[in-house]
Amino acid sequence: MTASLPLSTTDITPEQALKHYFGYDSFRPGQRQIVENALQDRDQLVVMPTGGGKSLCFQLPALLKPGLTIVVSPLIALMQDQVQLLQDNGIQATFLNSSLGLAEMRARTHLLLDGHIKLLYVAPERLLSQDFLTSFLPQLQNRTGIAAFAIDEAHCVSEWGHDFRPEYRQINILREHFPDVPVMALTATATERVRQDIMTQLGLRSPNVHIASFNRPNLYYEVRPKQKNAYQE
């Protein structure tokens, strides 16, 4: 799959970009509206099951908007997998984390500042470090523009979630430094209490909330009496 489309353009539709970059003929339920809201710079909370297409909800708008989309991701392995998949599809994406040497870190920094990257994956610890928050991010904003922040695994924000991480709780400082940049929070699991906490802690403004169905019609449970030869079964 090639990526001959321009880095950001209003000349192509989301459907065309979906086919070109990701190879899909149509959106899954809910994705099209989420993408449209993202293109309108709306804050959003997206709750979708694993494998439901959450990542595409911020990846595709990143290709259609000017500037850089910054993705907050909690795990190095997850960042590397996501970036590799994007690069395999011809999408300009990268990550900055502790797995990189100094020379490679500098090279990627230059690519970012020169506007050659559309999606940047970082951990919350790096995002919130003093130099990154008060020096590097403002440089990016001034030189390329920051299109959006996507907070993956957003349930980590909430003390009521099953995987609370204190550093996620501090991400709301982005609103103070970049009040005009839209935020999309995404998670595969969140109760009503956790959803409300995510929106409050991240300072989402009149967000669009999308909760996908978790029904898996291809899965079913069956209870059967245990037979004497159960181990052989």
In the chain, % of residues over pLDDT 90 = 76
How far is it, in rounded angstroms, from Cα 96 to Cα 98? 7
Per-domain boundaries in the chain? 14-211
Q: Is the pLDDT of residue 18 over 60?
A: yes
> Selecting from 3.40.50.300, 3.30.70.2190, 3.40.50.2300, 3.40.50.720, what CATH number does the domain 14-211 have?
3.40.50.300
Mean pLDDT of 104-123: 97
Q: Is the pLDDT of residue 61 over 70?
A: yes
pLDDT tens readout for residues 159-201: 776 677 888 999 999 999 999 999 999 999 889 999 999 999 9
CA distances from 230 to 226, 227, 233 (A): 6, 5, 5
Q: Is the pLDDT of residue 95 over 90?
A: yes
Mean pLDDT of 36-65: 95
Residue of 230 and 81 predicted with greater confidence: 81
> pTM of the entire structure?
0.87
Backbone angles phi, psi at 215, to 5 degrees: -70, 130
Backbone angles phi, psi at 14, to 5 degrees: -55, -35
**pLDDT value for 9:** 54
Order of all β-strands in the sheet with 183-187:
93-96, 119-122, 68-72, 146-151, 183-187, 44-47, 208-211
Q: Is the pLDDT of residue 217 over 90?
A: no
Residues contacting residue 14 through CB under 8 Å, at least 6 positions apart = 27, 32, 35, 36, 39, 60, 64
Instruction: Name the pLDDT band for 233 (thresholds 50, 70, 90).
Output: low
Instruction: Name the pLDDT band for 231 (thresholds 50, 70, 90).
Output: low
Determine the distance from the C-alpha atom of residue 41 to the mean position of all C-alpha atoms in its chain, rounded to a whole number. 15
Q: Is the pLDDT of residue 6 over 60?
A: no
**pLDDT value for 52:** 84
**pLDDT value for 189:** 85
How far is it, in rounded angstroms, from Cα 112 to Cα 104? 12
**pLDDT value for 167:** 87
